């Protein structure tokens, strides 16, 4: 993940918003993510903890942030701890951040070496009362691997058992859900890069190309502009377009098949999300276009429905109703099946089995509090689909949108989406 500069004022504002939520005499600590191992002496490379980045802009491993807004010494109220460099590290990994550079990026003036943390932390713990510690509390997170935050929680509670401990994650989820103008601009830049990658692929796809070659076209466009895949790309041709998280990406694209592309760019630390379904031959069949246009109608209705006051659950229920109606018109469902359905098992889930919107930002599936109501500044996906395994194809359409006081704004409005628009672009090859 390559750096894209953001103003230090963004991170200063984010810290101020968090500090305003902390009760008196509180202290908060956040840790960087680990560099994860693979096999032998290999590593996966470093992916920064999104909460730490949100508050500091620092991408370097072995970094800690300490916030103590009521500390008696004003210099102790926000402290950034970073890894000290050495000639050995400089030779093998390159220069690490200096204290001066870390202060420029984060807006934090008190920057210390990580080795100093214990001596600074203990007096503050003795002075203050409540301790807010961080954890990954995403509802679908897999906690199989212990994080630096988790190890710090265990160590802190062992050394200071009589303090009152609080969860930082709910506060950060609420704050991160509403994006600032700077963040929206960063997401828009990732969306624009995604659009350029998709337009490149429209000129490339034809019968006989391999899914892996299509992936390489996206990679070429993303990487040459300092971007990366926001998530493992889904390049699913033919019947594989019915597999929601298909990641094999190694089959030949055949004449007459559809190709589902769930591929998007991340730029800096901000992500985008896009899905398009295109005809390998450059022209949809009559039936394929019939289903495609049904999904597109639902997409447009759901885009308009992304307004303040709703929840993502509300959006899903609305989407299921719309897709059920389209499935009846397509001959996939009977009205009698809908009348007999159970409340917790809608008949339409045979053809549409996932959610229609999720927040996006520093993470592709960004954080939010359960049952939180959509507000201006939220950035969401809109991704309806209809999957018809018995006919050998599935269709999904997805854009990234921002909710405003005046209604939703599509950050991918310039990316081809109409069936005829896609066919025209593909046949200009």
Written as tens digits, the pLDDT of the chain (429 aa) is 788 889 999 999 999 999 999 999 999 999 999 999 999 999 998 999 999 999 999 999 999 999 999 999 999 999 999 999 888 898 898 989 999 999 999 999 999 999 999 999 999 999 999 999 999 999 888 888 899 999 999 999 999 999 999 999 999 999 999 999 999 999 999 999 999 999 999 999 999 999 999 999 999 999 999 999 999 999 999 999 999 999 999 999 999 999 999 999 999 999 999 999 999 999 999 999 999 999 999 999 999 999 999 999 999 999 999 999 999 999 999 999 999 999 889 999 999 999 999 999 999 999 998 889 999 999 999 999 999 999 999 999 999 999 999 999 999 999 999 999 999 999 986
User: From residue 337, how far is each of 65, 291, 316 by CA, in Å?
Assistant: 55, 20, 20
State how far the Cα of 202 lies from the Cα of 220, in Å rounded to an integer: 14
The CATH architecture of the domain made up of 181-426 is Alpha-Beta Complex (3.90)
373, 403 contact by CB (below 8 A): no
**Quick one: which H or E segment has residue 299?**
helix 286-305
Give residue 126's pLDDT.
96
User: From residue 24, how far is each of 16, 65, 79, 160 by CA, in Å?
Assistant: 14, 19, 18, 19
125, 160 contact by CB (below 8 A): yes
Give residue 429's pLDDT.
67
- Tokens 């276009």 locate to 289
Domains 8-177 and 181-426 share a fold: no
State how far the Cα of 59 lies from the Cα of 108, in Å rounded to an integer: 15
Tell how far CA 348 is from the center of its chain.
Answer: 27
Q: What is the DSSP letter of 362?
A: S
- Tokens 């090859």 locate to 429
281-286: long-range contacts (C-beta < 8 A, 24 or more apart)?
281/206, 281/207, 281/255, 281/256, 282/206, 282/423, 282/426, 282/427, 282/429, 283/423, 283/426, 283/427, 284/258, 284/419, 284/423, 285/256
Q: What are phi and psi of 297, to 5 degrees?
A: -60, -45
For the beta carbon of residue 7, count every other beta carbon within 10 angstroms: 12
Give residue 229's pLDDT.
98
Give residue 277's pLDDT.
98
State how far the Cα of 270 lies from the Cα of 267, in Å rounded to an integer: 6
- By CB atoms closer than 10 A (0-12, 13-18, 19+), residue 339 is exposed
Q: Where are the domains of the chain?
A: 8-177, 181-426
Q: Where are the beta strands (DSSP E) in 9-93?
A: 26-31, 64-67, 78-82
Alpha-helical (H) ranges within 65-130 are 87-93, 99-106, 117-127
Give residue 81's pLDDT.
98
Give residue 132's pLDDT.
98
Instruction: List the CATH code of the domain at 8-177.
Output: 3.40.350.10
| Three-state DSSP class for residue 235 | strand
Enter the tokens of residue 277: 């379904």
For the full predicted model, state whether its pTM sits above 0.75. yes
29, 130 contact by CB (below 8 A): no
SS3 labels along 164-207: EEEECHHHHHHHHHCCCHHHHHHHHHHHHHHHHHHHHHHCCCCC
Of residues 19, 33, 24, the one with CA closest to residue 61: 33
Instruction: Categorise residue 204: left if φ over 0, alpha if ψ from -120 to 50, beta otherwise.
Output: alpha
């Amino acid at each position: 993940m390559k750096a894209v500069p953001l103003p230090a004022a963004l991170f200063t504002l984010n810290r101020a918003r968090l500090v305003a939520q902390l009760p008196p005499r509180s202290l908060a600590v956040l840790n960087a993510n680990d560099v994860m191992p693979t096999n032998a002496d290999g590593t996966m490379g470093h992916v920064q903890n999104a909460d730490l980045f949100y508050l500091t802009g620092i991408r370097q491993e072995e970094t800690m942030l300490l916030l103590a807004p009521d500390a008696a010494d004003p210099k102790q109220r926000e402290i950034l701890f970073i890894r000290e460099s050495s000639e050995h590290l400089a030779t093998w990994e390159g220069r690490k951040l200096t204290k001066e550079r870390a202060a420029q990026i984060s807006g934090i003036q008190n920057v210390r070496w990580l080795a100093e943390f214990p001596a600074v932390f203990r007096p503050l713990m003795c002075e203050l009362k409540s301790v807010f510690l961080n954890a990954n509390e995403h509802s679908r997170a897999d906690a199989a691997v212990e994080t630096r935050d988790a190890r710090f929680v265990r160590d802190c509670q062992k050394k200071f058992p009589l303090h009152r401990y609080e969860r930082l994650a709910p506060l950060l989820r609420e704050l991160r859900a509403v994006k600032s103008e700077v963040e929206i601009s960063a997401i828009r830049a990732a969306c624009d890069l995604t659009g350029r990658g998709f337009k490149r692929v429209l000129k490339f796809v034809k019968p006989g190309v391999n899914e892996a070659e299509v992936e390489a076209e996206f990679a070429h466009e993303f990487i040459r502009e300092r971007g990366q895949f926001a998530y493992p790309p889904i390049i699913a041709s033919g019947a594989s377009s019915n597999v929601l998280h298909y990641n094999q990406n190694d089959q030949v694209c055949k004449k007459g098949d559809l190709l589902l592309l769930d591929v998007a760019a991340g730029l800096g630390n901000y992500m985008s999300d896009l899905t398009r379904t295109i005809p390998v031959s450059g022209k949809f069949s009559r039936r394929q276009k019939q289903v495609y246009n049904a999904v597109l109608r639902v997409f447009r209705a759901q885009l308009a429905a992304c307004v303040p006051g709703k929840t993502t659950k509300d959006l899903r229920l609305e989407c299921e109703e719309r897709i059920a109606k389209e499935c009846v018109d397509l001959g996939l469902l009977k009205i009698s099946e809908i009348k007999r359905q159970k409340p917790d098992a809608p008949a339409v889930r045979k053809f549409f089995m996932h959610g229609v919107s999720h927040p996006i930002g520093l993470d592709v599936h960004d954080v939010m509090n359960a049952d939180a109501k959509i507000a201006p500044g939220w950035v969401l996906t809109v991704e309806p689909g209809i999957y018809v395994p018995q006919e050998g194809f599935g269709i999904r359409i997805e854009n990234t949108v921002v909710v405003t006081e005046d209604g939703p704004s599509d950050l991918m409005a310039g990316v081809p989406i109409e069936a005829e628009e896609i066919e025209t672009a593909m046949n200009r090859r």
